[in-house]
Structure 1
Amino acid sequence: MGWFTEGSDHEGYVVCVFADGMYGAGGKHRQISLMTPDGNTIWENDDDPESVAWRPPSQVVGWKVACSCEPLNKHVILDPLWTRVWDPADEDFEGGRIYAGDPSSDDPEYVGDREDLEPLFLDVWHHHVAPDAHLHAISALGAELKRIEAQLDEAVAAARADGLSWDKIGRAYGITRQGARKRWDTQGISTGH
C-alpha cells in the first residue's frame, strides 16, 4: 500500500521498525529489505546491486509511516510508532499496539496492507502532507481564478463595445453600476454608456 499526493511529489507508505533502530520496507517471502532512516537501501556488498540486506519478519518490533518527499528531496519517518504485540487480545490501535501474527508469520511485512489500519496510517501521512496540499490547492485555484477573471474582463469589454451600460453589466455581475464602473473602468474598459 502506498499513497500519493495530487500536485506534489509525496509518496507515503508503512515501514517496519527493528529493535536496533533500523527500518524495513518491501521484501520477498519471509524477508524484509533493510533501509536507513533516510530511506536508503542497505547492501551487504556495495559492489553487488543484488546484495540487499534482509531480516525476517519475526524481528519486526513495530511500524511507522514514512514519506518520500521529492519537493524536499528527502525521506522522512513520521511518528508515532505502533508497537508489535504477540497476542491478538493485546491489539489496540488507538493505544498504538498492533498484532501481526506469531513469530513464524509473514504478516509484519504486510501490516501496511491491512484495511482496518489504513485510516490510522493515512491520518499521520495526511497531517504531514497537508501544508503542500494546501499550497497546491491555492496555486491551482489562483491560476483558475486568473483565467476566469481574464475571460470576465474580455466579456465586459465586449459588452461595453456593444454599447451595454455599466448598470446592466453591474446587475449581471451582482454589483452596482458604480461598482462595475470602478472595477472595469480602471482597466481602460470605458467604451459605451
Structure 2
Amino acid sequence: MVKLRLTLLGLIPVILGTVLIPQTQAQTQTQTIPLAAIEQRVLRYGIREQGLSRPQIRVRSISAETWPDGCLGVANPLELCMAVLTEGWRVVLTDGEQDWGYRTDARARQIRPEPVAELGGLSAATAARILATAQADSGLPLAALAIITAEQRIWDGCLGIYPTPNTPCTKIVIAGWRVIVAHGDQSWIYHSDETGSDVRLNPYEHPEP
C-alpha cells in the first residue's frame, strides 16, 4: 500500500478520422525559446498555480520530448485532444526531498503537471490540497496524514455526496477524485474535483476496515 505525504484522469483519446502528424524540424525550430525562459515559466507555474510555495524550489532537470497529442499526454476525461505529435519539454522541479514533473509545449505556453503513478495519476498538487483539507478537518499534523488510495471519478454538482436521497444537485459533469486519507487506524473519504480546488469530506461513507 503506497502512502504519499503530499497530495484525472486519463483522456478518452479517440478521435475518429485523425492521423498523428509529427511536426517538422523547421516548425520546431521556429517555436523554441531559451531554456532559461522555459524553466522560469514552469517555476512560476509550479510555485504560484500549483501551490508549491517553498522558497527552495528549483529546476532539477529539463529534457526535450515529443508528446503523443496536443494535451501533452496528460489530458483529463472531459478533454478532446488534437491527435498531433507535439514537441515540448519535461521539467522536473525539486525541493531537495520531493520532485514534481511538468510537461510543456515548445514555448511553455501550455504547462501541465504530471500525474503520480503510484496513486492512479493523482497529481502532487491536488494531493497536497486534499491533505490540507483533511488537516483542517481533523486537527492532526499534516505529517501524520497520508493518502492511501485515489480513484478517478466523474461527479455531479454535489461531488457525489448526498445528505438525503433527494438532495438536489446541479446536473453538470465534473472530473475528480475519490480519495482515502488515513492516520493510523483512522481513515476518511474525500471527494474532490480534478485540481483539488473543491474538496469535500464524505461523512456518509466509511472506508472498509
TM band (smaller chain): under 0.3
User: Could you tell me the TM-score, scaled by structure 2's length?
Assistant: 0.21
Q: Which has the higher contact order (CA 8 A, sep 6+)?
A: 2
Structure with a larger share of its residues in helix: 1
